[in-house]
Structure 1
Amino acid sequence: MGKYFGTSGIREVVNEKLTPELALKVGLALGSYLGEGTVVVGVDTRTSSEMLKNAVISGLLSTGIDVIDIGLAPTPLTGFAIKLYDADAGVTITASHNPPEYNGIKVWDKDGMAYTQEKERKLEEIIDSGKFKKVAWNEIGKLREEDPKREYINEVLKNIHLENSYTIVVDTGNGAGSILSPYLQRELGNRVIGLNSHPSGFFIRELEPNAKSLAMLSKVVKAMNADLGIAHDGDADRIGVVDDAGNFVEYEVTLSLIAGYMLKKFGKGKIVTTVDAGFALDDYVRPFGGEVVRTKVGDVAVAEELKKHGGIFGGEPSGTWIMPQWNLTPDGIFAGALVVEMIDRLGPISELAKEVPRYVTLRAKIPCPNEFKKRAMEIIAERVLKEFEYEKLIDIDGIRIENSDWWILFRPSGTEPIMRITLEAHTRERAEELMKRAERVVKEAIKEAQG
């Protein structure tokens, strides 16, 4: 984590750490870093988004950068617009799945991939130095407004083809996906029922699309006898799926199914995921010629590995998927279209899901002030050697230890003052026993780190 940027851009409570002043400096820093060119700027539905957007745009214009303001736009549309308008970078004003009092700033490269940590550090250095590029009155950047939604839908229709039509319930969580996801599904030929689809900064449900937050979606899918429920977070870079029986499909299952479908569609190759993904993915894709590569948590790490390995598909067990044939921006809206194409080819999700192996996954969050995280992780690294017998250790992002029938990941959160424990085992009894030991190790390490 940097001074301003975390694992997914800047994300803070508005008018506390994330102020218009900081947003202005980000615009100034990005413009100074680029030197020249064009930047696309889009926002999610939060009440603070326009305020922050205007500050970022002011900073960019003052350095001579031209700005294309696409207004209210889900993150996938920003990524698409960067390539559509041949821009040099993009900025999304969003806090993704965080509560409404948060907002954030995420910067995208010209290929649609999020800025790497290295590039974010350069922006931080420019912000702290205060040495921003300044141009004369006659060199100030030009601002124009564009609406790329039609082009986005047309391009998806070239890539996704359905033989049949379906009844789809789309829950966009009052987020930016409201202006695009339901309309795309309708143009694919489906009957669409919108849920929480008015773009409001006052969110009716929790934005992270999980079993709890999508309880209403599950009820509506069942009541309307729909074929599928699709849900998004605030900026629609994620997807959550409810099957035809009205059940939320666990992230690990949808990740495995869509990875398998991409292998069937494009042939054998590498599937990129993160260190917090379970064994189900490996076990499911192996027969289709898939090889799983694990990397750090965060869409930029997944995108980097996809580029490096020429991977077929990349995804996190949080509903964040990247389809490199489409774009390197996580895209929950395109993902929704892809899921419908999958059921069109292979059958209902409720049946497909039975093919994915199930293991017991447990997660825990333990409070830990940010300043003690580094030392606590050093202590954890020492203690796992004594506490657990394991066959493999991965330390690219936190510490993941593995055996043939279980794994545990110890990882400091990049967005909250907590330590996360994620583990998986073949039986509940084994999982609970491992969690008890893992929690003890982490609590003792935090206590020792605090002195």
Structure 2
Amino acid sequence: MGKYFGTSGIREVVNEKLTPDLALKVGKALGTFLGDGRVVVGMDTRTSGEMLKNALISGLLSTGIDVIDIGLSPTPLTGFAIKLYEADAGVTITASHNPPEYNGIKVWQPNGMAYTSEMENELERILEKEKFQQASWDRIGELTRADPKKEYIKKALEMIELSKSYKVVVDCGNGAGSIVSPYLQRELGNKVVSLNSHPSGFFVRELEPNAKSLSALSKTVKSLGADVGIAHDGDADRIGVVDDQGNFVEYEVMLSLISGYMLRKFGKGKIVTTVDAGFALDDYVRPLGGEVVRVKVGDVAVAEGIAREKAVFGGEPSGTWIIPQWNLTPDGIFAGALVLEMIDKLGPLSELAKEVPRYVTLRAKIPCPNEKKAKAMELIAREALESFDYKRLIDIDGVRIENDDWWILFRPSGTEPIMRITLEAHTEERAKELMEKARKLVERAIREA
């Protein structure tokens, strides 16, 4: 993690660390890095989006880079537009699922994959030196505006096919998905009820589409007798799903189900996920010819893993899915259409979910100042390896220790000043026992760091 870029681009509180001046410089740095070409720029619904977007565009134009401004745009639409307009890069002004006082800058490659840490490090180097490329007055970049929504929906309809109409409730969390997701579901032939789909920038629920934040969606699905509920975060790169009984389908369960469906749809192959994913995925996809490969947390690591392993599908247990047959940008909107196709082909979600093994997963967030993370992780790694009776170690991202019936992951957040503990066990009693021990270990390490 660099001075500016974390695991998901730049993400900070607006007008504290993330200012128009920084956005301007990031635009200049990206333009300098590229040298020439064109960049697609979109933003989510946050009130600071226009301010930061315009500053970043000014920086790009000053280096001679042409810019296609697609305005209000969920991250999946930005990724799609990069390929549609044959751009050399894309930028989304978004803080994804963070609270409204945050915003961020995330940069995308021509293939729709997020910038790697190496590419972000080069941008940081240019930012620090402030030796930016400057275009002469007659070489300033050209600014054009475009709207790729119709093309996105048209292309999605070529890939998803339903045999009948379903009743779908879509909760966009007042985010950028509001301008695409309900419309795609309607064009698929479904009867759509929209919740929180006014893109105001003032969020009426927590943006992470989890069981707690989607209580209204669950009630609506149940009261209307809908077939499914689909939800997104602020930029719609994530998906949360409520089944036909009004129950939130846990991230791990949905990840397993959709991975299994992709194996059925495209044939046997590898499934890429992150180090914080549980054993249920392995156990569910193995009989379907799937092999699970784990990588670092973050969509860029998943996308790189997909490309490297020639995988059928990749996703994180946070509702972040990458469908390589579609794009290498995380896409909660296309994922919603894919969920409907799975229901259409395999049956009600509430019945499908029963097929996935259920283990006990616990998560904890421990406050930890960013400057203490490195030292704290050294202490955690040393003590964890001494304190737990484990069989396997994965240390590609944090420290994950495994036994046959449990695993624990200790990992510093790349976007917040916290240390994360994620664990899974076959019984609730064992899970709680492991969490108590792990929490004490982490708290002690942070104090001593």
TM range (shorter): over 0.9
**What does residue 435 of structure 1 align with?**
435
- The one-letter code of the counterpart of 2:157 is L
Indicate yes or no: 2:401 matched with 1:404. Answer: no
Following TM superposition, where does structure 1 have runs of at least 4 consecutive aligned residues deviating by more than 4 angstroms?
none
**What does residue 353 of structure 1 align with?**
353
Q: How far did residue 369 of structure 1 move?
A: 1.1
Q: Where does structure 1 lack aligned partners over 5 or more consecutive residues? A: none
**What does residue 77 of structure 1 align with?**
77
Task: Please give the secondary structure, in 1, of the residue aligned with 2:325.
Answer: coil
**Separation in 2 of the partners of 1:366 and 1:87?**
41
**Separation in 2 of the partners of 1:4 and 1:443?**
26
**Separation in 1 of the partners of 2:154 and 2:380?**
51
- The one-letter code of the counterpart of 1:119 is M
**Separation in 1 of the partners of 2:298 and 2:436?**
27
**Separation in 2 of the partners of 1:325 and 1:103?**
30
**What does residue 95 of structure 1 align with?**
95
Indicate yes or no: 2:205 matched with 1:186. Answer: no
**What does residue 114 of structure 1 align with?**
114
Task: Please give the secondary structure, in 1, of the residue aligned with 2:248.
Answer: coil
- The one-letter code of the counterpart of 2:198 is H
**What does residue 163 of structure 2 align with?**
163
Task: Please give the secondary structure, in 1, of the residue aligned with 2:363.
Answer: strand
**Separation in 2 of the partners of 1:418 and 1:185?**
37
**What does residue 385 of structure 1 align with?**
385
Q: How far did residue 395 of structure 1 move?
A: 0.4
Deviates more, 1:408-417 or 1:21-30: 408-417
Deviates more, 1:365-374 or 1:24-33: 365-374
**What does residue 320 of structure 2 align with?**
320
Indicate yes or no: 2:333 matched with 1:333. Answer: yes
Task: Please give the secondary structure, in 1, of the residue aligned with 2:11.
Answer: strand
> 1:407-451 deviations in whole A, cap 9, x for unaligned?
0000011111111110000000100111111111111211221xx
Q: How far did residue 63 of structure 1 move?
A: 0.3
> 1:267-300 deviations in whole A, cap 9, x for unaligned?
1100000000000000000000000000000000
**Separation in 1 of the partners of 2:414 and 2:358?**
28
- The one-letter code of the counterpart of 2:412 is P
- How many residues align structurally? 449
**Separation in 1 of the partners of 2:264 and 2:152?**
25
**Separation in 2 of the partners of 1:386 and 1:106?**
39
Q: How far did residue 385 of structure 1 move?
A: 2.1
**Separation in 2 of the partners of 1:273 and 1:385?**
24
Task: Please give the secondary structure, in 2, of the residue aligned with 1:236.
Answer: coil
**Separation in 1 of the partners of 2:54 and 2:269?**
43
**Separation in 1 of the partners of 2:29 and 2:128?**
9
> 1:110-158 deviations in whole A, cap 9, x for unaligned?
0000000000010011011010000110000000000000000000000
**What does residue 128 of structure 2 align with?**
128
**What does residue 174 of structure 1 align with?**
174
RMSD between aligned residues? 0.5
**Separation in 1 of the partners of 2:370 and 2:103?**
20
1:61-72 equivalences under 5 Å are 61-72=61-72
Task: Please give the secondary structure, in 2, of the residue aligned with 1:361.
Answer: strand
- The one-letter code of the counterpart of 2:376 is A
Indicate yes or no: 2:123 matched with 1:86. Answer: no
- The one-letter code of the counterpart of 1:428 is E
**Separation in 2 of the partners of 1:369 and 1:71?**
35
- The one-letter code of the counterpart of 2:146 is E
| TM-score of the two chains, using structure 1 as the length reference | 0.99
**Separation in 2 of the partners of 1:367 and 1:2?**
19
Give the fraction of aligned pairs with identical amino acids, expressed as a percent.
Answer: 78
**What does residue 226 of structure 2 align with?**
226
**Separation in 2 of the partners of 1:358 and 1:29?**
47
Q: Where does structure 2 lack aligned partners over 5 or more consecutive residues? A: none
**Separation in 2 of the partners of 1:276 and 1:368?**
19
**What does residue 342 of structure 1 align with?**
342
1:54-65 equivalences under 5 Å are 54-65=54-65
**Separation in 1 of the partners of 2:274 and 2:132?**
36
**Separation in 1 of the partners of 2:447 and 2:342?**
49
**What does residue 144 of structure 1 align with?**
144
